[in-house]
Amino acid sequence: EIVMTQSPATLSVSPGERATLSCRASQSITSNLAWYQQRPGQAPRLLIYGASNRHTGVPVRFSGSGFGTDFTLTISSLQSEDFAVYYCQQYNDWPRTFGQGTKLEIK
């Protein structure tokens, strides 16, 4: 099973600032990585797929990068609605696996 490890567990950032979230896979997943945002009481929402492709309707301030085992989600200028939990997930191999999440909180 591919283990996905996210860091940090919690990230405190001020509105308008940049946030950088990391995700590492225990073995290569090429670019088969997705990022999701989850707000309280809601289902996860796809932000990025294929490591760097924005899903339909996702604001341009969200960007993804990486290949192989190391991946990054960057939010360029945080808005109030961006404070949420973010998960990465690999879909390169079975079973599909998620990271433990990064909680992005207001500083």
Partner 1 sequence: EVQLVESGGGLVKPGGSLRLSCVASGFIFSSSGMNWVRQAPGKRPEWVASITTSSNNIFYADSVKGRFTISRDNAKNSLYLQMNSLRVEDTAVYYCARDRKLDYWGQGTLVAVSS
List of residues contacting partner 1 (CB under 8 A): 34, 36, 43-46, 49-50, 55, 87, 89, 91, 94-101
Cβ(35)–Cβ(73) under 8 Å? yes
CB closer to partner 1, 53 vs 77: 53
Nearest to 97 by CA among 20, 22, 29: 29
Measured in degrees and rounded to the nearest 5, phi and psi for residue 80 equal -60, -35
Q: Minimum Å distance from CB 17 to partner 1? A: 26
**Rounded to an integer, what distance in angstroms lies between the CA atom of residue 49 and that of residue 26?**
19
Q: Minimum Å distance from CB 60 to partner 1? A: 18
CB closer to partner 1, 16 vs 94: 94
CB closer to partner 1, 1 vs 70: 1
